[in-house]
Amino acid sequence: MSKKVVVIGAGFAGLAAACCLAKAGYEVTVLEKNSVPGGRARQYSADGFVFDMGPSWYWMPDVFEQFFAHFGKKTSDYYQLQRLDPSYSIFFGEDEVMQVPANMEELFAMFERYEPGSSRNLKKFLEEAKYKYEVGMADFVNKPSHSILEFADLRLLKSMFRLQMFTSMSTHVRQLFNNRQLIELLEFPVLFLGATPAKTPAMYSLMNYADMALGTWYPRGGMYKIVEAMVSLARELGVDLQLNQEVKQILAPHGLATKVITQDHEYTADAVVGGADYHHLDQQVLAPEQRNYDAAYWDKRVMAPSSLLFYLGVNKRLKNLHHHNLFFDEDFTQHAIEIYDDPRWPEKPLFYVCAPSITDPTVAPEGHENLFVLIPVAPNLEDTEARREQYYNLVMERLERLTGQEIRSAVVYKRSYAHADFETDYHAFKGNAYGLANTLFQTAFLKPKLRSKKIKNLFFTGQLTTPGPGVPPSLISGQVVAREVSKLLQ
């Protein structure tokens, strides 16, 4: 009889783990709290609009291809990708818009226009970033990070210096570039990693390589197509996906998990993978004596940002927007400080607008526009309807002014989403949206461990453990933890 594995949570990490474990021959059940799979990458429809609720950037296409290749599949078996060009636009002011081209030669030419001579430094920057990406993906992110000893390989130790683990992203960028707009272009990806560029290792310039060299893509139909693909694969492999099953308890007598209990059912298990919020499972689901960490440990963790989101349906087509649009017309550094160093609601926030209907007419009624507006904010803030409305009007006024059009009067559908919703829907620790910050002291083996110290057959996966936040890292996390479970059960 096959051994049984229960996976808690049907986000990217949970689904990836479930697929890998099913392929390895285990009987796998996935328990999902919500009525649809996908975790933060859920999708919903309203009034003819189709909204992706969370991730909207498709970066690192190789990670997705490698995942599906493990099962003899390709992404094109499930969804069609379109490379975006421009990759995205950055609004620095009313008549100051940078359109970041997909073509590398056009990108070098753009850098030259902003800062003569900078294309040479960009080539150097991207060559180093390529090395970080290739070494990081090959030698670091696929490790379970149980111990520092996993990295005690001379080749890896030498790599750590070339990876610039001990140089900040801010220092690295400013050594090569002087123009403010170019600096902000290169620093923006780390804004979602959970620390200011001054406190983020320069290793994460690998994100710039993923952005500029590997490209920004869009799966036709929306990001939820990835979830649908993984669910289809999981079911093909025999995974039992149970929705509306919120885990209330993990029974682990004598340090061995034997049952997972939901609000109305019990599931026997030979191993358990926690793909739901790590803090919630550790502090609320497990018995006190079986927790990996105490409350003080969690309170000291540096969290990545939360987000205030608006899903908007507009009854006309809009001008001067591309698929991805960043609004950096206010002080980049000050907003980062208000997220990380002095956490509070920002006075003049940066924000991001995704307009997928510009690329994909299927996500909005004919003649309409679909907008996803995101304001990165600190976690653990007081979240009220009045505060949400204040920021809605603040960013919409700027959006209208910077794009030269009236929008609010044309909004026919509106929904907001912030800290309280992240906590309710995902049990997100402190209402975070992205997980644990990728600071130097929260990298690799310094993250919360993916294996329980108290329960031999309990593992954790996802954005609060190895390798970190984001869709590709979550896919990798699920695969890493599946290998560890297989080692135990063999």
- pLDDT at 300 exceeding the cut of 80: yes
- pLDDT at 85 exceeding the cut of 80: yes
Q: What is the pLDDT of residue 159?
A: 56
User: Do the Cβ atoms of 420 and 309 come closer than 8 Å?
Assistant: no
- pLDDT at 150 exceeding the cut of 90: no
Task: Please report the DSSP string for 236-264 in residue order.
Answer: HTT-EEE-S--EEEEE-GGG---EEEESS
Quote the mean pLDDT of the chain. Answer: 93
Q: What is the distance of C-alpha 147 from the center of its chain?
A: 25
pLDDT band at 356 (very low <50, low <70, confident <90, very high): very high
The token duo for 175 is 């050594």
Greater confidence (134 vs 452) lies with 452
pLDDT in tens, 270-293: 999 999 999 999 999 999 999 999
Q: What is the pLDDT of residue 89?
A: 98
Distance CA 271, CA 135 (A): 32
Q: What is the mean pLDDT of residues 19-38?
A: 98
- pLDDT at 160 exceeding the cut of 70: no
Candidate from 34-43, 244-253, 437-446 with smallest mean pLDDT: 437-446
With a CB cutoff of 8 Å and minimum separation 6, the contacts of 296 are none
User: Do the Cβ atoms of 447 and 468 come closer than 8 Å?
Assistant: yes
The token duo for 107 is 């990108």
Q: What is the pLDDT of residue 235?
A: 98
- Domains of the chain with CATH codes: 4-41+222-301+439-489 (3.50.50.60), 105-213 (1.10.405)
Distance CA 288, CA 281 (A): 11
| pLDDT > 70 in the chain, percent | 94
pLDDT in tens, 322-354: 999 999 999 988 998 898 889 999 999 999 999
Q: What share of the chain is helix, strand, coil (3-state, %, to 5)?
A: 45, 20, 35
Whole-number Cα distances in Å, 390 to 106, 132, 345, 471: 39, 41, 11, 30
- pLDDT at 74 exceeding the cut of 50: yes
| pLDDT > 90 in the chain, percent | 81
Torsional sign, CA 77, 29, 14, 23: negative
Q: What is the pLDDT of residue 138?
A: 74
Distance CA 389, CA 376 (A): 15
Residue 328 neighbours by CB distance under 10 Å: 21
What is the reported pTM?
0.95
Q: What is the pLDDT of residue 310?
A: 98
- Hey, which residues does 338 pair with through a beta bridge? none
Distance CA 317, CA 232 (A): 34
Q: What is the pLDDT of residue 192?
A: 63
pLDDT in tens, 197-251: 887 888 888 899 999 999 999 999 999 999 999 999 999 999 999 999 999 999 9
**Strand order of the sheet with strand 240-242?**
240-242, 27-31, 4-8, 271-274, 458-460
* SS3 assignment, position 49: strand
Give CA angle at 208 (207, 209), nearest 5°. Answer: 90
Q: What is the pLDDT of residue 466?
A: 87
- Hey, which residues does 373 pair with through a beta bridge? 310, 353
pLDDT band at 468 (very low <50, low <70, confident <90, very high): confident
Which ranges constitute the DSSP H helices of 197-305?
Answer: 206-212, 224-236, 278-280, 295-299
Q: What is the mean pLDDT of residues 439-448?
A: 77
Distance CA 222, CA 42 (A): 11
pLDDT band at 156 (very low <50, low <70, confident <90, very high): very low
| Residue located via tokens 């907008």 | 371
Give CA angle at 176 (172, 181), nearest 5°. Answer: 95
With a CB cutoff of 8 Å and minimum separation 6, the contacts of 478 are 12, 13, 14, 15, 16, 17, 18, 19, 20, 275, 461, 462
pLDDT band at 154 (very low <50, low <70, confident <90, very high): very low
Exposure b/e, 283-304, CB count within 10 A at least 16 = b: bebbeeebbbbeeeebeebebb
